[in-house]
Amino acid sequence: FGGGAVSHQLTAPGFIHDPHAGQMVLVMANPMIANDELGLMSKFGLKFCQPDVGHATVFDDNSYLCTHFSVDKTCESIAQFSKRDADAYRALVKQAEGMSDLFVSGLFKPPLPFGGFMAMLDQSIEGQQLAGTLLKSAYNVVCDLYEHEKVRIHFLKWVSEIMIGPEEAGTGVIPMFLAAMQHKYHPGCVVGGSQGLSNALVKCIQHHGGEVRVNAEVVKVHTAGGKIKSVTLKDGETIEASKAIVANVHPWLLGNMIEGIDPGVAARAKNARLSAFGAVNTHWALKEAPKYKAGHDVDTAAVVEPAPSTMEKFRQHFDQMRYGHIPDSINASVQHNSNFDKTRVPYGEGAALYLYHFVPFKLAGKELEYWDVVKDEVKEDMLRRYQGITTNMTADNIIASAIVTPYDMHKWSPSFQNGDIMGVGTYIDQWSGRRPTPELAQYRVPGISGLYLSGPFLHPGGTVTGGGRCTAIQLLGDLKVKYNHIMSV
């Protein structure tokens, strides 16, 4: 169960790794979690570890900057580089927190049509400013806000976690959005591995009389007279639908999967663009947790983001990936969830390391399958880079290792075409009421009554968001089911 929210023993017995989703950030603001709407925590065993230091950027000179759950501690970390930037960040958080209810409300229910949303913003000075920020790049916004190069890199590195470069137009609102969210909704990891979130959802469904099946691949959605009818499984079994089908189908696959879909709808969905780059995720079973040359504060971070000290080198990472090359210096996101959750390691000893490195989906001149040829070489290269910022990632500390490449991700789930864990790219033309296309953004498939879509390729987008809540709101509304007593919208 779980798609990208799964956990496996990838390296050695007893070491639990998250091959895809590890840190829970946006989903923590979802009323499903924030208000425990489904009882996942109170009834079905879901638990989180929430360390104080959310993420730390470690620069190649071993200086570092930390984002804490505490605004004050974050500003102290920024102030070591620039008091002015610390003040600017505090002001941004205050401004953004005033919009946090708007952000949260907009994320976890069906989006407004994009044109209507922009027209609404255009009716006030504040809205016009927000619209302007939305249309800029994160690079422009961050460089306007902060003066110190390392402070700029710290925030731009995190923006790049959406798998497009921070100089992409339309990313400008993300620094404000993160400032609004990260100090109000405490990020963390799932105790026992990300699989625990999926398992809690399954328990909830079963508790309410539902059935959840694995090894039951749907190969066709059947319709008749403009209405949903049934699905056919790979083994030939047909399952009839009475009221609705909710399909987690990548936009590229809609035309082949859904019988009777309008050819224009399918063609426009097929043109949805993937993210700008992907990642390899290497996993390491260790005798002891990594120790950083930068010092103990970094050792306590949930996520460490290694980065160059200069903006020129940082920007080159994204240029290199654009041309199919692995960046020539470390460009990683490192998670240390077993430091805070000892259930992930045997007898509570050792460490399960998540070393995630940005790479192109396809290497220059090669097909996706080529990753199988070079995966072991790439894994060892990622280790050599990581050894440069740590003190104890030596052979005598390593028990076992594994690597998950874009090709592996592509094979794991049809939602991850070419290894894109975001489903499709989070570009301004594929955002909110345009994701993945304007006509599909309301979770309904035009011309087919009772067919709904869900998944990372719809609003609110990739990463673990609990985005199915949006589809549920739309579906329940269409069925005229009163849900206010069970959900707060």
Write the pLDDT tens digit of every residue in 184-234. 999 999 999 999 999 999 999 999 999 999 999 999 999 999 999 999 999
- For residue 489, pLDDT over 80 is answered with no
Mean pLDDT of 138-166: 96
Closest CA to 465 of 428, 421, 399, 429: 421
Split at pLDDT 50, 70, 90, the class of 342 is very high
CA angle 280–285–290, rounded 5-degree value = 85
In the prediction, which pLDDT does 127 show?
86
- Strand partners of residue 335: 303, 354
Question: What percentage of the chain has pLDDT greater than the value 70?
Answer: 99
Q: Is 39 helix (H, G, I), strand (E, B) or coil?
A: coil
CB 149 within 8 A of CB 310: yes
Q: What is the phi/psi pair of residue 392, to 5°?
A: -130, 20
Q: What is the mean pLDDT of the chain?
A: 94
In the prediction, which pLDDT does 485 show?
57
Mean pLDDT of 118-131: 89
- For residue 305, pLDDT over 80 is answered with yes
DSSP letter assigned to residue 383: H
> Could you tell me where the beta strands, DSSP code E, fall in 388-485?
398-404, 451-453
Split at pLDDT 50, 70, 90, the class of 178 is confident
In the prediction, which pLDDT does 103 show?
78
Tell me how far apart the alpha carbons of residues 404 and 423 are, in angstroms, rounded to a whole number.
Answer: 17
Split at pLDDT 50, 70, 90, the class of 488 is very low
- For residue 16, pLDDT over 70 is answered with yes
H or E stretch covering 303: strand 303-307
The CB-side HSE value for 260 (13 A sphere, CA atoms) comes to 17
- For residue 263, pLDDT over 70 is answered with yes
- For residue 6, pLDDT over 90 is answered with yes
In the prediction, which pLDDT does 486 show?
56
Q: Is 239 helix (H, G, I), strand (E, B) or coil?
A: strand
One-letter amino acid at 193 equals G
Radius of gyration of the chain (CA): 22
Tell me how far apart the alpha carbons of residues 238 and 287 are, in angstroms, rounded to a whole number.
Answer: 49
In the prediction, which pLDDT does 176 show?
86
- Strand partners of residue 306: 58
- For residue 262, pLDDT over 50 is answered with yes
- For residue 245, pLDDT over 60 is answered with yes
In the prediction, which pLDDT does 484 show?
67
Q: Is 142 helix (H, G, I), strand (E, B) or coil?
A: helix
One-letter amino acid at 342 equals K
- For residue 281, pLDDT over 70 is answered with yes
The CA dihedral of 408, 414, 418, 422, to the nearest 10 degrees, is -100
Task: Give the DSSP letter string of 461-482.
Answer: -SSS--THHHHHHHHHHHTT--
Instruction: Give the predicted TM-score (pTM) of the model.
Output: 0.94
Mean pLDDT of 233-257: 96
In the prediction, which pLDDT does 182 show?
86
Mean pLDDT of 74-78: 97
